[in-house]
């Protein structure tokens, strides 16, 4: 290896390099490593176990399997910890800490002496954070995911987190399921280690990592507890060593073309709305962006081919058994860029050369027999969202696609929770619910966009109503919901000046969301609108000062690639 590889990599020396090498080797020896080991190239393993992250429960055996692959291929594995984010254990929302983990990952990969790195994540925010960090550190890197949970069983039916969590809780609230049964179900929803069992954010991001080319082919959907998950981990270790002699950098893998492929697959799996933000953040680390027009063009021409919950029927284990990402990519082949490269250095064309002998068409449909002819997500624009908004048409009610209604405004999350179930709330099913101050600067962009149906309407049997906000929603939620309105309320976006009784128009066919108030009145209200309070101290202060809006992936402005266009013109 060259002088600056392995433990000698990136050494700080204050004039006497030989002493710096000697010192580092001495300290490495104190970890019980032989001299022979110290001369080998080093593969870092970014591990993220945590007593607050159930989705990463298998981390120890994954680290062991990656290490085995690294050692067998002739390099020295060195596992190191980074921040771990367990989706349901973080307040106010895990989203706030994704950038912290991305910074941690980038800096630890860059600062420590490793020639390549295997990054092991899984839960919603961890894979985007690791991809963002790897894209910026730009040393050879392989993403390995912990894999999805297998389903549990309850009285003859299969259960998987977390679409079924919502379904059962809804039944409990309606009195269809009693306390005793809901307590039993609690122990059956998340039956194994691994990430949520449906096509939520974690599964969508695992698939995106593979489609980008950052994970080994075929590894995205292997169940967490399946033996092949460990075989994939071992192979990831081996492949990381191979990258030393066949280098492929994240900058060669994450390109305009691979990002477009990832966006297309996101549409074809009817993936999570959150993945649009995460993909924008990863792409933004390499100076790449997909504009709303391009997103809509991709959505309009890409059929949904996968029939999985929360929109369809199956679970991730079914997707894996049906043929997984490889089978899906073969169907989408005519729409994909085939000259992208993956961590093995092969092109997508090479990967897809061999036809598959069998695919379960109940789960992964043929291109000409889609679940739906168009992608699940679209971008909206209009005077209320000058920099765009996202709408999951696959999860919405078609009769609400063209709606003009009266605004019923909630000023904040607190206001919403205080008034939503008031019997005197002035609301009908023809109105449009508006939530403000739930964007990235105001509150870290929680999954609050799925506003509950007010009790008085729910009692009348109302199941859906148009809801709009600057928030996100869970990858497992449903409804006619406009999300990610940008700029957000706290950044002075026009959402801030919507008043009770204003008329709002949603048109899915025109991809518009409009406030039917004239421009002069909007300008007058914006002028009079009070600026939000200055950000708090510490990391939350840094976050509020530096976070970008949803179209830029909610990354920190100072972490984006220097050539990432500042197209929003947003002033904070």
Pairing of strands 116-121, 42-47: parallel
In 3D space, the residue among 278, 251, 253 whose CA is nearest the CA of residue 263 turns out to be 278
Task: Please report, in angstroms and rounded to a whole number, the separation of the first and last CA atoms in the chain.
Answer: 48
Decide the pairing of beta strands 157-159 and 432-435.
unpaired
Residue of 131, 135, 193, 196 interacting with ligand FES (CB under 6 A): 196
Q: How far is the CB of 196 from ligand FES (least distance, A)?
A: 3
CB 401 within 8 A of CB 509: yes
DSSP 8-class letter at 85: -
DSSP 369-383: S-SBSS-SEEEEEET
Whole-angstrom Cα distance, residue 211 to residue 349? 12
Q: Closest Cα partner for 187 from 222, 163, 225, 161?
A: 161
Of how many residues is the chain composed?
A: 572
Q: How far is the CB of 61 from ligand FES (least distance, A)?
A: 18
Q: Is 229 in contact with 58 (CB distance < 8 Å)?
A: yes
Q: Which does 195 bind (CB under 5 to 8 A by kind): ligand FES, Mg ion, none?
A: ligand FES
Partner from ligand FES, Mg ion, none contacting 123, C-beta within 5 to 8 A by type? ligand FES
Q: How far is the CB of 87 from ligand FES (least distance, A)?
A: 4
- We find the least distance from the C-beta atom of residue 128 to ligand FES, in angstroms, to be 12
Q: Could you tell which of ligand FES, Mg ion, none binds residue 93, using a CB distance below 5 to 8 A set by kind?
A: none
Cα gap 170→458, rounded to integer Å? 12
Among Mg ion, ligand FES, none, what does residue 55 contact (CB within 5–8 Å per kind)? Answer: ligand FES
Q: Applying CB under 5 A, what is the total number of residues that bind Mg ion?
A: 3
Select the binding partner of residue 202 from ligand FES, Mg ion, none (C-beta < 5 to 8 A, by kind). Answer: ligand FES
> Between residue 112 and residue 131, which ones bind ligand FES under the rule CB under 6 A?
123-124
Ramachandran class of 232: left when φ > 0, alpha when ψ lies in -120 to 50, beta otherwise: alpha
Q: Binder to ligand FES among 11, 21, 71, 88 (CB under 6 A)?
A: 88
CB nearer Mg ion, residue 395 or residue 432? 395
Q: Which stretch binds ligand FES (CB under 6 A): 194-202, 343-351, 378-386, 555-563?
A: 194-202
For residue 59, give every residue at least 6 positions away whose Cβ sits within 8 Å of its Cβ, in sequence order, or none: 47, 48, 49, 120, 146
Stretch that binds Mg ion, among 378-386, 404-412, 469-477, 511-519 (CB under 5 A): 469-477
Least distance (Å) between residue 123 CB and ligand FES: 3
Using CA of residue 195, residue 197, residue 199, residue 200, what is the dihedral sign?
Answer: negative
What does the DSSP assignment read for 403-432? EEEEEEEE-SHHHHHHHTT-TT----TTSE
Residues 109-168 that bind Mg ion (CB under 5 A): 124
If one asks whether residue 201 binds Mg ion (CB under 5 A), the answer comes out as: yes
Listed ranges 1-9, 75-83, 192-200, 395-403: which one lies at the site for ligand FES (CB under 6 A):
192-200
- Window of 196-204, 302-310, 347-355, 560-568 that interacts with ligand FES by CB under 6 A: 196-204
When asked if residue 55 is in the footprint of ligand FES (CB under 6 A), the reply is: yes
Dig out the tokens for 38 from the structure: 């110290």
Query: If binding is defined by CB under 6 A, does position 202 make contact with ligand FES?
Result: yes
Residue 396 to residue 428: CA distance in whole angstroms: 18
Residues in the interface with ligand FES (CB under 6 A) total 9
Is 204 a binding residue for Mg ion by CB under 5 A? The answer is no
Residues of this chain, 472-491, that bind Mg ion according to CB under 5 A: 474
- Nearest approach in angstroms of CB 278 to ligand FES is 13
User: Of 177, 151, 149, 197, whose CA–CA distance to 476 is shortest?
Assistant: 197
Binding site for Mg ion (CB under 5 A): 124, 201, 474
Q: Contact positions toward ligand FES, by CB under 6 A?
A: 55, 87-88, 123-124, 195-196, 200, 202
């Amino acid at each position: 290896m060259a002088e600056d590889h392995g433990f000698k990599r990136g050494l700080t020396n204050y004039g006497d390099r030989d002493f710096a090498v000697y010192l580092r080797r001495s300290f490495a020896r104190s970890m019980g490593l032989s001299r022979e080991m110290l001369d080998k190239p080093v593969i870092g393993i970014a591990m993220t176990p945590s007593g607050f992250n159930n989705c990463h429960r298998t981390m120890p055996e994954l680290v062991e399997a990656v290490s085995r692959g690294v050692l067998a291929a002739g390099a020295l594995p060195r596992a190191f910890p980074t921040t771990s984010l367990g989706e349901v254990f973080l307040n106010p929302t895990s989203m706030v800490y994704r950038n912290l983990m991305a910074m941690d990952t980038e800096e630890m990969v860059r600062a420590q002496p490793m020639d390549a790195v295997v990054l092991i994540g899984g839960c919603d925010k961890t894979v985007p954070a690791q991809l963002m960090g790897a894209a910026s550190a730009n040393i050879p890197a392989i993403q390995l995911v912990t894999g999805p949970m297998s389903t549990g069983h309850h009285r003859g039916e299969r259960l998987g987190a977390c679409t079924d969590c919502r379904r059962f809780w809804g039944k409990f609230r309606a009195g269809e399921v009693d306390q005793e049964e809901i307590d039993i179900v609690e122990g059956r929803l998340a039956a194994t280690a691994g990430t949520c069992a449906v096509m939520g954010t974690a599964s969508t991001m695992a698939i995106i990592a593979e489609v980008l080319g950052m994970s080994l082919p075929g590894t995205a959907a292997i169940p967490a507890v399946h033996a092949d998950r460990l075989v994939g981990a071992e192979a990831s270790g081996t492949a990381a060593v191979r990258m030393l002699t066949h280098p492929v950098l994240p900058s060669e893998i994450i390109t305009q073309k691979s990002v477009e492929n990832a966006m297309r697959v996101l549409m074809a799996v009817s993936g999570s709305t959150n993945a649009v933000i995460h993909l924008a953040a990863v792409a933004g680390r390499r100076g790449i962006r997909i504009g709303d027009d391009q997103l809509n063009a991709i959505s309009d021409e890409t059929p949904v081919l996968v029939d999985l919950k929360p929109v369809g029927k199956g679970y991730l284990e079914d997707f894996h058994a049906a043929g997984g990402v490889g089978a899906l990519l073969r169907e989408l082949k005519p729409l994909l860029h085939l000259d992208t490269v993956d961590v093995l250095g092969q092109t997508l064309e090479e990967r897809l050369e061999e036809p598959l002998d069998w695919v379960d068409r109940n789960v992964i449909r043929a291109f000409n027999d889609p679940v739906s002819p168009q992608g699940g997500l679209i971008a909206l624009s209009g005077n209320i969202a000058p920099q765009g908004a996202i709408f999951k048409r696959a999860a919405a009610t078609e009769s609400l696609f063209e709606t003009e209604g009266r605004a019923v405004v909630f000023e904040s999350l607190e206001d919403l929770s205080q008034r939503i179930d008031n019997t005197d709330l002035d609301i009908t099913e023809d109105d449009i619910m508006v939530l403000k101050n739930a964007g990235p600067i105001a509150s870290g962009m929680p999954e609050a966009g799925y506003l509950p149906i007010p009790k008085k309407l729910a009692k009348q049997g109302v199941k859906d109503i148009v809801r709009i906000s600057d928030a996100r929603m869970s990858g497992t939620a449903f409804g006619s919901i406009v999300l990610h309105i940008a700029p957000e309320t706290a950044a002075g976006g026009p959402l801030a000046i919507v008043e009770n009784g204003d008329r709002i128009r949603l048109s899915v066919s025109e991809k518009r969301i409009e406030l039917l108030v004239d421009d002069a009145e909007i300008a007058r209200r914006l002028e009079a609108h009070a600026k939000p309070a200055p950000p708090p101290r510490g990391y939350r202060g840094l976050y509020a000062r530096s976070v970008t809006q949803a179209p830029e992936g909610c990354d920190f402005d100072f972490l984006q690639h220097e050539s990432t266009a500042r197209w929003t013109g947003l002033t904070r």
